[in-house]
Amino acid sequence: MATIRIDPVTRIEGHARVILEMKDDGTVEYARLIVNELRGFERMLVGMEADRMPLVTARICGVCPVTHTLAAIQALEDAFRVAPPPAGKILRELLCMGQLVHSHALHLFALGGPDLFFGISGDPARRSIVGMVEAAPELAKKALRLRTLGQKVVEAVGGRGVHPVTVVIGGISFDLAADALASLRKQADEMLALARELVPLARDLLLRLVEREPNLLKLEVRAHDLGMVRGGKVSHLDGALRLVSPDGKVAEEFPAREYADRLVERSYAWSYMKPVFFKLGGKDALYRVGALARVNAADGMETPLAQAELEAFRKAHPAPCHLTIMHHWARIIELLWACEKAKLLLGDPALSGPARVPVQITAGRGVGCVEAPRGTLIHEYEVDAKGIVRAANLLVATQQNYAAINQSIEQAAQSYVAGKGDQAVLNALEFAIRCHDPCLSCATHALGQMPLEVEVRREGTLVRRFGREA
Amino acid sequence: MSGKLRLNTEWLSVCGGCHVGIVDLHEKILDVLGSVEVQRCPVLTDVKGYPEADIGIITGAIRNEHDRAAALAMRRACKTIIAFGTCAVHGGLPGANLAHSREEILDTVFRRSRSTETDVLPASEVSTLEKMVTPLDEVIPVDLYLSGCPPHAAFIFDALVALAHGRPPKARDETVCAACRRSMVKTDVAELRPNHSGIPDPGRCFLSQGYVCLGSVTLDRCLSPCPKQGVPCTGCAGPTMQILTEPNRDLRTEVAERMRRLTKIPAGAVVSAMEASAKTHYAYAMATRMIGGKPTFLIKKWISDVEAV
């Protein structure tokens, strides 16, 4: 039995590496993405003031801090039975859309974009945002502008872009001034115009990539999909969780508060990250979260351009689509939706009302659930009568995709290991990980390539080693 | 490319927010690129290894062997090293877990979590958990410090432009109060108010209103977004130099003294309340010896007192 170890030298949310266990016939027995870091937020949060949770948990991730902030506040408001006023709700949703534009634009154009543009077997030296700026300066400039606009929405509503500060129990800590609102409206118009221009370009790049690399259409994980829906439409802040079976039937729809009855975290002896499964008929069912899972789970999109894009997608790939590469198309749909939705929110007359109500803290337990750019995020807190956190539980998106990521790596290795060169294997494994957009990949994939080391072993002895340096 | 300042950046154990903070220079990034040549940068470029550079920006704290090796490689390659962000400077928020043992952390995550059902603790292929967080300058010499979680783009821009023009960055030592527009007034407030209670007066200093705000003891690397938007400062850029360097000064005693003068709340009540909330107030900087090493800093005792209730 041979073992292939792939050690990314740079950190993937800490340190991660891939081990492929090979059978004697040269096929892959299993794939393991090993996560070698544990920050232990669940322990750290205990003993802290509940009102700090939005600020503290933002520090879990600098790319999507808004999502943690919002999940935390929803959990606390659930525990204290508090509802923010309409203006507070609208501003939070706007914050969420701003971050979605920033994150999806960053992924589509800066991180995953180089794959689409140059192909996954393209010259790694050019396969980066820098290469894209050289090859298509106008496209790259517009894409980066789109990301900037999304982040400026977060800055205006959240007080700052990274680790926003204005989300408080009972609403948003300030009322939006008229001039700030006017400039936000202008930015939202520009955001939507840019998205309309860039979306067809991104879609064409994706379709051409699939034509060039038909092997990508073998990367399919037939799992359940989990995503939030409101009135059947994709929603990120408010709604029920819906599980759709691999053949497209709604298996369950439930309030996030009941997550612990259905979702179960397990553990592996070889990783600090806990995978999550769905308890279905007494068994652990594999499921995925994220943009593709969300559009698979929903009946449609709530805005016209996003709905049209979803229909085009479903025409090409009937729902539910399990092709890992089509995460990109799902992101495109959501990017359009976020821009349209931001404009709608900014036109809501309720925005002129107060954004915050005073609250009373009582002992309680509450669950908050938000769709992060990378998938469903759940926070749960138990708070005592003094407002101190007594227990905290966090289920992040990447954990829920963990089992599916391992399966994708295995498939990528299976279809590329035999008969292809080392570079193609490295590219394919990297691509399989990156398609899931795990939070851990935001740390590495902008490099154009992950620094990987592959060791082929037979009965513990090194047979050969290949890879590329950090 | 001669004449341009050569820049390497690297991230260690970090949330990634500092690098997003650099990208958030937005349009100004073009000005920076006029005088700075970005070489290695984990977000933007595909430069491998550690090319020789004039400036090295390191974000994140040291958590494992990889972080250590990367910090040493950056030190060898770069003439000037900037510890960038509160994690690199003081250990940052994850330092709050220094209050707990590794066993406690593993036990909470794998055995006591409500949705976790397992009998397996990670043991093979993974390394034993190290000390949670070590600030950068305990591992390599650091030339410049820019704390902030993340630092505001204005400070990043000034630092890069200043270095490109051969002048030292404006190492301002103002506190968060500097950019806060609230007025400090004497009041008859007699009791501390938890941050979540009521809706604070937007024009008046939080301390005057009885809310604990760390603005007056925190270095301004943010341009004060919290007090400007109705939220008391939580100290994410770390303490001022005065508190870091003078053994008889501390966050809780300084805040207590100000509140005593501004309100009718006794200083002792503020000190006790801040000790009871120590994990919150000291989270960002307790990993640095300048805070964690103070003989009066009894974080484990304060926390166990609170959790025992």
Asked whether residue A56 is domain-assigned, the answer is no
* pLDDT(A450) > 50: no
**Contact B198/A358, CB-based, under 8 Å?**
yes
Which member of A11, A269, A442 has the closest CB to residue B123? A269
Burial group, residue A361, by CB count within 10 angstroms (0-12, 13-18, 19+): buried
- Residue A6 — pLDDT band, cuts 50, 70, 90? very low
Of A431, A210, A213, nearest to A316 (Cα)? A210
Sheet holding A283-285, edge to edge: A263-265, A276-280, A283-285
Mean pLDDT of A38-44: 86
What local confidence, expressed as pLDDT, does residue B183 receive?
A: 96
* pLDDT(A48) > 60: yes
Asked whether residue A75 is domain-assigned, the answer is no
What H or E segment, with its residue span, contains residue B95? none
- In this predicted model, which residue has the larger pLDDT, A469 or B47? B47
* pLDDT(A36) > 80: no
Q: Which of B14, B101, B128, B280 to mutate to test the interface with A (most CBs of A within 10 A)?
A: B280
Phi and psi (nearest 5°) for A430? -60, -45
> Dihedral sign, CA of A247, A296, A410, A286?
negative
Asked whether residue A255 is domain-assigned, the answer is no
Asked whether residue A60 is domain-assigned, the answer is no
Per residue in A137-194, pLDDT (tens digit) is 888 889 889 999 999 999 999 999 999 999 999 999 999 999 999 999 999 999 999 9
- What proportion of chain A, given as a percentage, has pLDDT over 70? 84
- Tell me the C-alpha distance between B48 and B30, whole Å: 23
| A249-253, A308-312, B75-79, B288-292: least confident range | B288-292
- Tell me the C-alpha distance between B262 and B90, whole Å: 30
- Tell me the C-alpha distance between A373 and A369, whole Å: 13
If you search the block for the tokens 């430069």, which residue do you land on? B47
What local confidence, expressed as pLDDT, does residue A15 receive?
A: 43
- In this predicted model, which residue has the larger pLDDT, B165 or A294? A294
The amino acid that residue B51 corresponds to is P
What local confidence, expressed as pLDDT, does residue B259 receive?
A: 98
What local confidence, expressed as pLDDT, does residue B71 receive?
A: 94
- In this predicted model, which residue has the larger pLDDT, B2 or A56? A56
Asked whether residue A124 is domain-assigned, the answer is yes
**Contact B11/A11, CB-based, under 8 Å?**
yes
Asked whether residue A117 is domain-assigned, the answer is yes
C-alpha torsion A310→A316→A318→A319, nearest 10: -40
Task: Compute the nearest-CA separation of B127 from chain A (Å).
Answer: 7
| Pairs of CB atoms within 8 A across A/B | 251
Mean pLDDT of A51-78: 94
Is B172 touching A (CB cutoff 8 A)? no
Asked whether residue A402 is domain-assigned, the answer is no
Name residue B90's beta-bridge partners.
none
- Tell me the C-alpha distance between B254 and B252, whole Å: 6
C-alpha torsion A264→A270→A272→A278, nearest 10: -20
* pLDDT(A2) > 90: no
Is A272 touching B (CB cutoff 8 A)? yes
Is B221 touching A (CB cutoff 8 A)? no
* pLDDT(A121) > 80: no
CB B68 within 8 A of CB B139: yes
How many domains, chain A? 2
Measure CA B112 to chain center.
29
* pLDDT(A8) > 50: no
CB count in 10 Å sphere of residue A286:
19
Residues A88 and A174 in one domain: yes
- What proportion of chain A, given as a percentage, has pLDDT over 90? 58
* pLDDT(A463) > 60: no
CATH number reported for the structural domain that contains residue A201 in this entry: 1.10.645.10
Mean pLDDT of A39-48: 90
**Contact A269/B124, CB-based, under 8 Å?**
yes
Which member of A148, A159, A387 has the closest CB to residue B26? A148
State the Rg of chain A over Cα: 22
Name residue A395's beta-bridge partners.
A378
A88: containing domain: 83-221+322-358
Residues A90 and A22 in one domain: no
What local confidence, expressed as pLDDT, does residue A14 receive?
A: 36
**Contact A380/B114, CB-based, under 8 Å?**
yes
* pLDDT(A447) > 50: no
**Contact B125/A9, CB-based, under 8 Å?**
no
- In this predicted model, which residue has the larger pLDDT, B299 or B81? B81
Per residue in A346-405, pLDDT (tens digit) is 999 999 999 999 999 899 999 999 999 989 999 999 999 989 999 999 999 888 998 988
Residues A115 and A193 in one domain: yes
**Contact B279/A44, CB-based, under 8 Å?**
yes
Phi and psi (nearest 5°) for A388? -100, 135
Q: Which residue of B has its CA nearest to A358?
A: B198
Residues A328 and A200 in one domain: yes
ipTM: 0.94
What local confidence, expressed as pLDDT, does residue A462 receive?
A: 54
Phi and psi (nearest 5°) for A307? -65, -40
Task: Compute the nearest-CA separation of B6 from chain A (Å).
Answer: 16
Residues A440 and A351 in one domain: no
Of B212, B164, B158, B156, nearest to B35 (Cα)? B164
Cis-peptide, bond into residue A320, ω within 30° of zero: yes
CB count in 10 Å sphere of residue A250:
13
Secondary structure letter of residue B247 according to DSSP? T
- In this predicted model, which residue has the larger pLDDT, B91 or A459? B91
> Which 3 state secondary structure label does DSSP give A287?
strand
What local confidence, expressed as pLDDT, does residue A10 receive?
A: 33
Asked whether residue A52 is domain-assigned, the answer is no
What local confidence, expressed as pLDDT, does residue A270 receive?
A: 84
Residues A119 and A176 in one domain: yes
Q: What is the mean pLDDT of chain A?
A: 85
Residues A340 and A193 in one domain: yes
| A39-43, A218-222, B42-46: least confident range | B42-46
- Tell me the C-alpha distance between B42 and B19, whole Å: 8
Chain B from 6 to 65: CB within 8 A of any A CB? 11-21, 23-24, 26-27, 42-46, 48-49, 63-64
Where are the alpha helices (H) located in chain B, listed in sequence order? 17-23, 28-35, 65-77, 86-90, 102-106, 153-164, 225-228, 241-245, 251-262, 267-276, 278-281, 289-292, 299-308
| A269-278, B11-20, B108-117: least confident range | B11-20
Angle, helix A178-212 to helix A327-346, in steps of 10 degrees: 160
* pLDDT(B4) > 50: yes
CB A454 within 8 A of CB A466: yes
Residues A92 and A196 in one domain: yes
- Tell me the C-alpha distance between A48 and B255, whole Å: 19
Is A65 touching B (CB cutoff 8 A)? yes
- Tell me the C-alpha distance between A45 and B112, whole Å: 14
- Residue A464 — pLDDT band, cuts 50, 70, 90? low
| A122-126, B208-212, B268-272: least confident range | A122-126
Residues A184 and A104 in one domain: yes
Residues A196 and A92 in one domain: yes
Residues A426 and A328 in one domain: no
Per residue in A393-427, pLDDT (tens digit) is 999 988 899 898 888 888 877 776 655 666 777 77
- Tell me the C-alpha distance between B42 and A9, whole Å: 12
| A54-68, A411-425, B182-196: least confident range | A411-425
**Contact A37/B13, CB-based, under 8 Å?**
yes
Residues A91 and A157 in one domain: yes
- Tell me the C-alpha distance between B43 and B11, whole Å: 10
Per residue in B252-269, pLDDT (tens digit) is 999 999 999 999 999 999
